Structure 1
Amino acid sequence: MITCMSKEMELHAKRLGELGNLTRLSIFRVLVKAGRKGVAVGDVQKILDIPGSTLSHHISRMVNAGLVEQRRESRTLYCLPLMDAVKETADFLLSECCSGNIVPK
């Protein structure tokens, strides 16, 4: 049992929690496939065939978790995946891989 949650653990738990939702994971995969150029919100909506309000809710949660950023160009809003954040979380999970250091019960 974890008795002390560090800020770092809280951040990674939040990121993993957001990606643990099927809709948000689907959105994030669309963004990752597009790369650093991002995807217009309207295009994400068409690709995944979800209502705009639902998409907005899920994107907002990922923005708040630091997984996605948004950029406006004229009248178009683009979403971009923050791959450094995903890499940080993956590195956090793997940081003590195979170290043999386990906490006794």
Structure 2
Amino acid sequence: MDTDSAIAALSALSQSTRLEIFRLLVRHEPDGLPAGEVARQLDLPQNTISAHLATLTRAGLLTSQRYSRLIVYRVGLPRLRELMLFLVKDCCAGNPELCAPLIADLSACCPSPEACS
């Protein structure tokens, strides 16, 4: 991931509604949620949800799949992984033991690379 891509992803997440949407969809991996259900669960108007979903999708943080008239959104786990790795790439100045708590926390969230890719 390059700096511009990281900035785009972080910018997309820097708005409270979009961050709530992203966190909701993380909780619903791997099945995802239809746009209408995202709006319902977060008590958001239907007419604003699509703009937020589009911003997150353009940043590569979400993917969507159409099923007839239904569009299901999921977290772009490979992109999230790239962003996390970009943020910690130079972590701890070559002292990996300093990053052990961070790695342990991330491992607890994502028990295997296959589950998070």
Residue-pair matches, total: 94
Question: Whose radius of gyration is greater, 1 or 2?
Answer: 1
Secondary structure of 1:98 counterpart: helix
Q: Displaced runs of 4+ in structure 1, greater than 4 A?
A: none
Which residue is 1:68 aligned to?
Answer: 62
- Whether 1:39 aligns to 2:33 is yes
Which residue is 1:21 aligned to?
Answer: 15
- Which structure: greater helix fraction? 2
Secondary structure of 2:72 counterpart: strand
Secondary structure of 1:36 counterpart: coil
Overall identity of the aligned pairs, in %: 33
Separation of aligned partners in 1, 2:30 and 2:90? 30
Mark the runs of 5 or more structure 1 residues left unpaired by the alignment. 1-6, 101-105
TM-score normalised according to structure 2 size? 0.76
Separation of aligned partners in 2, 1:34 and 1:64? 20
Mark the runs of 5 or more structure 2 residues left unpaired by the alignment. 95-117
Q: CA RMSD in A?
A: 1.3
User: After superposition, where does 1:1-105 map in structure 2 within 5 Å?
Assistant: 8-99=2-93
What code does the residue aligned with 1:13 have?
Answer: I
Separation of aligned partners in 2, 1:68 and 1:58? 11
